[in-house]
């Protein structure tokens, strides 16, 4: 949706108001970001994070994350292909958001200031995970979702799909744990995020079939009931013809996706 393509002008202005109260070094990151000099945002953010005076400050890490994210949307402008200076841009955006969240956790001073960005990153991460799933590259799908879950732990839909990817990759121990953890957080009163709601019904359908095969009737029945609860967000997810069309579209997009979103063998997000 349009409102998720770029951070709104109002949001950017709020960043300016917030960060103007800190210091000139943070202000510089803000203005570089507004000027769309995203490579400079990343370079200066990470250099600042190495400064002893800023190592505990979460703000350089959120700007590093946002800079990497915006570069991922501009492959024609930045060296983000495999082996490039800014390779694995989405993975790095997830990594530094995770670091930001961890450093901000105690005071929780800045979390509410960047919610629009969290939706942007969740949306892109989900689309990447879905792309790999449709291409039947389940290991990469699980990896994309795993990185997203660490950066965005408050969305159990991402966790559900990480579990599905792990199960499809035959990593049953981790997959089962993730699926059951997600089911524990999702019930008929759950309010899904707008950017991931569309894949929830399909995920629950897969999970209900899988758990039925495992003999876990209680959780299988719960998942099956939740299919009906959440299919209103994207009824086409349950339409086989539509799913085949999505798979064909995924194949068309695969060349570009592989060029700019190629993952390392280690798909985990580290601090």
pLDDT of residue 83: 83
pLDDT of residue 220: 98
Name the token pair of 253: 């997009």
Return per-residue pLDDT of the chain as tens, 271 residues: 333 334 444 345 444 444 444 589 999 999 999 999 999 999 999 999 999 999 899 999 999 999 999 999 998 898 888 888 899 999 999 999 999 999 998 888 999 999 999 999 999 999 999 999 999 999 999 999 999 999 999 999 999 999 999 999 999 999 999 999 999 999 999 999 999 999 999 999 999 999 999 999 999 999 999 999 999 998 676 666 666 666 666 666 655 555 555 544 344 455 5
Query: 215: which residues sit within 8 A by CB, 6+ positions away?
Result: none
Residue 8, pLDDT score? 44
Contact 144, 132 (CB under 8 A): yes
Q: Provide the H-helix boundaries in the chain.
A: 9-19, 24-34, 38-49, 59-72, 89-104, 115-134, 138-151, 156-168, 172-185, 200-214, 217-230, 240-260
Tell me what pLDDT residue 242 has.
66
Q: What is the fold, at CATH topology level, of the domain defined by 132-259?
A: 1.25.40
Question: Cα–Cα distance between 220 and 218 in angstroms, integer?
Answer: 5
**C-alpha–C-alpha distance, residues 259 and 247, integer Å:** 19
Pair 141, 129: CB distance under 8 Å:
yes
User: Which residues make Cβ contacts (< 8 Å) with residue 179, sequence separation at least 6?
Assistant: 160, 163, 164, 167, 207, 210, 211
pLDDT value for 93? 97
> What span, in angstroms and rounded, lies between the C-alpha atoms of 99 and 82?
23
Listed by start position, the domains of the chain span 8-109, 132-259
Give the CA-trace dihedral at 137, 142, 143, 145, to 10 degrees: 120
State residue 4 phi and psi, 5-degree precision.
-100, 0
Tell which residue, 179, 172, 135, has the closest CA to residue 157: 179
Measure CA 264 to chain center: 17
Per-residue confidence (pLDDT) for residue 19, from 0 to 100: 43
């Amino acid at each position: 949706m349009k409102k998720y393509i770029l951070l709104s002008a109002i949001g950017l202005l709020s960043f300016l108001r917030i960060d103007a109260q800190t210091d000139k070094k943070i202000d510089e990151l803000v203005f570089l970001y507004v000027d769309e000099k995203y490579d400079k945002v990343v370079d200066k953010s990470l250099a600042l994070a190495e400064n002893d005076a800023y190592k505990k400050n979460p703000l350089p890490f959120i700007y590093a994350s946002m800079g990497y994210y915006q570069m991922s949307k501009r492959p024609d402008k930045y060296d983000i292909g495999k082996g490039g200076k800014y390779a694995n841009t989405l993975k790095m955006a997830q990594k530094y958001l995770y670091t930001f969240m961890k450093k901000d956790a105690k005071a929780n001073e800045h979390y509410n200031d960047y919610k629009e960005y969290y939706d942007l990153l969740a949306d892109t991460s989900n689309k990447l995970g879905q792309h790999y799933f449709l291409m039947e590259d389940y290991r990469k799908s699980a990896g994309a979702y795993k990185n997203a879950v660490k950066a965005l732990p408050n969305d159990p839909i991402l966790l559900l799909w990480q579990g599905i990817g792990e199960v499809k990759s035959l990593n049953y121990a981790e997959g089962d744990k993730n699926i059951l953890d997600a089911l524990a957080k999702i019930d008929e009163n759950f309010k899904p995020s707008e950017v991931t709601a569309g894949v929830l019904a399909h995920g629950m359908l897969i999970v209900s079939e899988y758990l039925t095969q495992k003999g876990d009737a209680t959780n299988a029945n719960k998942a099956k009931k939740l299919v009906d609860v959440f299919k209103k967000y994207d009824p086409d997810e349950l339409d086989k013809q539509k799913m085949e069309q999505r798979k064909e579209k995924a194949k068309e997009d695969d060349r570009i996706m592989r060029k700019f979103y190629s993952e390392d063998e280690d798909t985990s997000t580290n601090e």
